[in-house]
Structures are given as C-alpha cells and as structure tokens.
Structure 1
Amino acid sequence: MLAHFYILNNTDIVLPYIIAQKEFVKRNNPRMSEKWMLNEHNKNFMQWFQNKVGTNTGVLETLQRLALGPNFDVFTFSAYDINNYTFYTKTQDDKSTMQNSGVMIVAESEHFATRHDKNLVTASMSYFGVIEDIWEVDYGPFKVPVFKCKWVDINNGVKVDENDFTMVDLNRIGHRDEPFIMASQVKQVFYVTDAVDNIWSMVIHGTSNHLNVEEADAMQTPSLPNASQSFHDVFDVDYVHAVRDDHEEGIWDNTTLN
C-alpha cells in the first residue's frame, strides 16, 4: 500500500484531512514526541481517512474514490509519456540506445536529522533516482501514474564537484521505504559516467524527449536546481492525461499493490 499512501500524502484535496488527523493524534497524545506522532499518522491515516470520508456523497467523487482505495491489480508499462518527456524503466533503458530512466525531484520534506532525533526538520532537498517500474494505480474513474524508483542516498551518494557539476553514485541506494513518486512530479535527468572516476556519474538535466547516451557528453550540466517543489503541490487527479508510449502497451499485472 506504499503507492496509495504516497498518492494520498501528495494530493492537494487530501491535505486538510492529513492536517486534521495529525491534530487529532497530537490532541490525544500531548506528551508524545513528534517522531512518535508522525509514525502514528503513517500507521493509521489510510484507515482513518477511509472512515472519515467513506461513501459520503457530500464530498467530491475524487476524494471519495481516494478514500475507498485503489484496485489491487495495477497496469504496468515499460515506457510512459508525461510532461513532454518519455520515461523508461531501467530494464527498457538497457535494451535501448536512449537513456530515459533517470529522474529527479526537488522537494520540501520532513525528516529527522538522526535516528535518535525526536524533532522534525523541514528542508528543500534534491533527490536523484532510476525508474524500476511504471504503474497506473487504478481508482476506477481515474488512474494515477506512479514511478517506483531506486533513489540515490542523499547523504553519501550525491556531491557537487569542483566544477559545480552535480555527481551521483548510483550504487549508493537509500530511502528504500519511500520508493514511489507520482509521474507528474518528476523531472528527467541523464547520468554520464565520470571518465576519471567511474564510481560517480554526472547529472544532466533533460531538455528534450530523447537523449542518445553517446550525445550526453556534449551537453552542459547545471548544478543543483534552486527551485523547490512541495510534496503538497496542487495535483488534481481528475485531470490526469498522461499518454502511454506506443512502442509497448501496458499490461494488467496481479502484483499486490505495496
């Protein structure tokens, strides 16, 4: 249910319910730490939200369908067109001369500085990853495209070199408990192996629908972007119009939604 939970936490019309449930938890547990309350929210929000909205005909149909939850069969793709870019899974990338599986997002996220810290810190951070799976999560009247990614460990796998280029170590994987991102949120990036130290790859920000990996070295690479995107930016799932890539149709998969 990780994909569904991520969608709920990143859909604007659900935000008032997230705030209300967090306030409910805090009000009923005033002596508990922020870390405990966040864990309690994560553990109970989906059921609380379903009970709160349920089949209430007085709310938007979109909200009602989100509260009821998705079907557990997912529609999967090896490629997907959205935001004027074509994205591939890493498996599809390996079959192609085009590299389209790299993604990044700049997000305001709440986290704890260390495992022992009990106070939340909010910061704008850049995350880099590679798409493993492309799903459409099916809510009946609408579907939400999501990417399941391997994310580079932001603490040990990302650096800015002396030339102000962003470099990543794609073998340093982190954030394993948060693999999903909504397709509408990401930007496309390409990774070019450093000729001096092949452990590191240079990040090139996407400017076109396709990039031949042999052409990547010729492109200029900006450093970490300054703009930030909140995890609660407006996302109206009633108006998702992503287009599948024509070269391979999606298939229904009985994979359990996790």
Structure 2
Amino acid sequence: MRSLSLKHIAMYYSMLSQEHKRIVKGQYGSRRIPDYEMNKIHGQQFADWFKKRVARLEEQGDEVTEDLKWLARGPLRSVNRYSGYLVKGYRFHTKSREKSLKTQNSGVVVTVEGENYASSRDRRPVQGVVNYYGKLNDIIELNYSGQIRVVLFKCEWVDINRGYKIDNGVTLVNFSYKAHTGASLTDDPFVLAAQVDKVFYVTDPKHKDWEVVRFVKVRDVFDMGVLDDCTFNVPNLHRIGDDGEDGIDITPDMEHEVDVEENGDESFF
C-alpha cells in the first residue's frame, strides 16, 4: 500500500472541486450566492458528488486514473490510529501521549493561501496567506481498499479572529477560543499530515491564557511515519527549536483498528 502525495491530492481536488462549485452556482440561476454559503454547500455535498462523478466517467468509457477510482470508492470502515508520527522532517505526538512526558511535540501550524474562514460560521473571509495554529489530538490513517493510504491529523484549532494576536512582533494564541471543532460536517478539525508544520507553545506570564508561538526548524531526518515512544527534551527556551531529535531510533508504534460508525468518520476525505 502506498501513500498518495499532497501534490496529487491537491491536483485531483482542485480539478473536481471547481467543477462542483460551477454546478452549485448553476443551481441558483441568476441569483448570486455568497461565498460563505457556496463553501458550506460545497463541503456538505462534494464527497457524494465526487463518488457519483467518477462512477459516471467510468460508465461513459472515459479514462479515469486508478488513484481517482480508489479515492472515489472511499476508505475502508476500519482505520489505524497512532500517537506519534514523523512527516516532513518533524516529529509529532498527540496531546494525550505528552501527558506523561516533559517534551512538547503536539504543536501544529497550517499555512493557507487564498480565501480563508475562521470557522464555518465566519462570513468575513480573509484574503491572502493565513496561519492556522493548533494542537494535535489524534492521528488517523485511512486505507483505500488496500491501495492508497492517507494520514490525517485531528487538531484543536485556535479561532484566528479572537484567539490570535501579534504583540511587539511576537505571535500569541489563546486556545480558550476554538474553531473547527467538528461540531458539524463543515466545521472540520482534520488536515492532511503533509500539510502541517511544527510549532512550540510557551506560556506567556504577562497574558493569562495566552501562549507564545515558537517556530521549529526542519530536521534532516527521513519521513518514516509512525514513531516509537522515545522522548526528546527541550533544554530551554533559547533552544526551543532544537528538540534533541538527532540520531532518533524509529520503530512502529502500537496501532489498532477502530470501527467507523455509519454516520461517523468515513467522510474525512
């Protein structure tokens, strides 16, 4: 079984999502649909439309790549879950795994360019490059018929409208203000593991509930996926980006299968 690269996933999604959005706009005729409403409908309907669209292409005899066929059929109803993962040269642990450790490897940031919404209820999109800051809660590997695997990070995300600020050039976040909590289908807390970069959060003694964001330099290590339970200390704040990950020993973590409920997580992708 192989991993599908972020580049290929983005290519397929961009091509088909634009087609689906044109269809949604056409359903409204001459009436203009607000962008936030368009994105909401697109998020709710795209997965089912994608499956039917690929099936129709096959019926018509059009050439369909094997990757598209497997993705359209959806993932298996059982998934693998992990507490640690190595991707893009970064080591990540879930928050629950860190409870017994002195180290921090659960901080994530996703940089998005384009039109961005703080949450599914946000009607004021931000244009340009936006950083979304979060903490890693779960690592899930989807299996598409034994042919393709896709790793997702389920994260706790800061509301960038209320829980984010810059103070004297320092980035601060407040996880008391959350967004993308998974409360609805369009309020998705999942991202592809390959989209994520790593940050540390340091408590700010001057601002209650606020944490300073420290970015991490990429390590020259191989992306080997699942991690063991090795711990690596952060010596002090002056070396916050140097978390002692040189010469790491990587072995498979304990994994287990989890049955996905009928109305549950099979729609992650």
Verify same fold: TM over 0.5: yes
* Residue aligning to 1:42: 43
Unaligned stretches of 5+ residues in structure 2 = 1-5, 182-186, 220-230, 242-248
Unaligned stretches of 5+ residues in structure 1 = 1-6, 222-243
- For 2:164 and 2:22, the matched residues in 1 are separated by 35
Change (3 A) 1:74 1:155: same
> Which residue of 80, 83, 99 maps to 1:75?
80
Q: How does 1:50-89 map to 2 (within 5 A)?
A: 50-54=51-55, 56=58, 58-89=63-94
Aligned residues: 226
Q: What letter is aligned with 1:196? A: K
Maintained 8 Å contact 1:98/1:211: yes
* Residue aligning to 1:124: 129
Are 1:193 and 2:200 counterparts? no
- For 1:144 and 1:49, the matched residues in 2 are separated by 17
Secondary structure (helix, strand or coil) at the match of 1:11 reads helix
Change (3 A) 1:110 1:143: same
Q: Shift of the alpha carbon at 1:143?
A: 0.7
Q: How does 1:136-151 map to 2 (within 5 A)?
A: 136-140=141-145, 141-151=147-157
TM-score (norm. length: structure 2): 0.74
Maintained 8 Å contact 2:108/2:197: yes
- For 2:13 and 2:171, the matched residues in 1 are separated by 34
Q: Shift of the alpha carbon at 1:54?
A: 2.2
> Which residue of 232, 238, 253 maps to 1:218?
238
Identity %: 32
- For 1:16 and 1:27, the matched residues in 2 are separated by 17
Q: How does 1:7-46 map to 2 (within 5 A)?
A: 11-30=10-29, 31-34=31-34, 35-46=36-47
* Residue aligning to 2:227: none
TM-score (norm. length: structure 1): 0.77
Q: Shift of the alpha carbon at 1:211?
A: 5.8
Deviations 1:61-115 (A, max 9, x none): 1111111111121100000111111110000111222210000011025356995
Secondary structure (helix, strand or coil) at the match of 1:178 reads coil
Q: What letter is aligned with 1:50? A: K
Q: How does 1:155-170 map to 2 (within 5 A)?
A: 155-162=161-168, 164-170=169-175
- For 1:253 and 1:90, the matched residues in 2 are separated by 19
Q: What letter is aligned with 1:94? A: K
- For 2:170 and 2:159, the matched residues in 1 are separated by 17
* Residue aligning to 1:228: none
Q: How does 1:93-104 map to 2 (within 5 A)?
A: 93-104=98-109
